[in-house]
Structure 1
Amino acid sequence: MNYPEIGQTVEIHSYKHNSKIHRIWHETTILDISDEVVIGANNKTLVMEADGRTWYTREPAVCYFYTQYWFNVLCMLRKDGVYFYCNLSSPFVYDQQTIKYIDYDLDVKVFPDLSYRILDEDEYHKHSNEMGYSLEVQEIIKQQLDILINMIETRRGPFAPGFAEHWYYVYKNRLLKR
């Protein structure tokens, strides 16, 4: 598999199942790479929606992309703690200096106390019918949601204590060296 390089700035492109662009994050700095994950971070980065609207992220975020799991995790560092936004999605691919994945609508919002809420179930069912998610994809999403919830509840991966803070520290130090 093709990977970005540590220190490289990349874009992140989220697509829908019908191959249409969903959202673009314009600058994320790659902090770490392994065969299982790519970790990046950004702060106040420009985001463009499919309809052309743009906005800037409000806080620093550490991005965690898996090569094998069907979800990715954004760790948002706020004054009152780390919030997590988890997208059920295809594993990422790296192409033309861009991390790309298919967003499968379901999201899990995780609060600093690691309580969580599953979001966008109506959108998932609507798009599942409209875009023809296969039974195989639907089963994968269901299984991956269970894996994600288990990771949250057992505080593994990006939900481990100090994870987001550590990678934000690495990000800030990398920026200072530029």
Structure 2
Amino acid sequence: MVLHVSDSVVIGANDNVKVTESDGREWRTREPAICTFGRGQWFNTIAMIREDGIYYYCNIGSPFTMKHEVLSYIDYDLDVKVYPDMSFVLLDKEEFNLHGQLMNYPPDVVQQVNRAAEEVVAWVHEKRGAFHPGFVERWYERFLTLQNRS
């Protein structure tokens, strides 16, 4: 569900949605999530709301585009997982390097992807955007309100 669209950001929410992987595998999300896509940013955040806190999964990818209500971006495999205590881990570096070689990523794309991973870490430390205290909770309440109306 789209919660907010502006010149700078798109914020959405989902719960129990079907995900189809590139290899055809399908699965359903297990918890509600608030998704944030900043215009021009090389990352997006998925804040998963669990009983023991908010976990963030940050996809490093090209800036998104929207056409005919479809949001699209290139996922470059590199991810940052952020835990409720704001500690984090960089995931899939090997996969990014392998795909970079196989698909011959241009040097400027590799540089942008690495810069985006650093930017996510800076945002975590600065508590910016989706990492700001109360951000996820506020948008989750909005999601619940809109969901109850439909």
Q: Please, what TM-score do these two structures have when normalized by structure 2? A: 0.97
What letter matches 1:91 in structure 2?
A: P
Aligned counterpart, 1:50: 22
What letter matches 1:148 in structure 2?
A: V
RMSD: 0.8
In structure 2, runs of 5+ residues without a counterpart are none
Q: Is the contact between residue 12 and residue 35 of structure 2 (CA under 8 Å) also seen in structure 1?
A: yes
Aligned counterpart, 2:73: 101
Sequence identity (%): 43
Q: Is the contact between residue 79 and residue 117 of structure 2 (CA under 8 Å) also seen in structure 1?
A: no
Aligned counterpart, 2:35: 63
Q: Which runs of 4+ in 1 moved over 6 A?
A: none
Aligned residues: 150
Residue 97 (structure 1) shift = 2.3
In structure 1, runs of 5+ residues without a counterpart are 1-28
Distance in 2 (alpha carbons) for counterparts of 1:108 and 1:85: 6
Which is richer in helix?
Answer: 2
Distance in 2 (alpha carbons) for counterparts of 1:174 and 1:84: 23
Which is richer in strand?
Answer: 1
Deviation digits for residues 70-128 of structure 1, max 9, x if unmatched? 00000000000000000000111112321101001110000000000000000010001
Distance in 2 (alpha carbons) for counterparts of 1:51 and 1:136: 28
Aligned counterpart, 1:81: 53
Residue 162 (structure 1) shift = 1.1
Residue 136 (structure 1) shift = 0.6
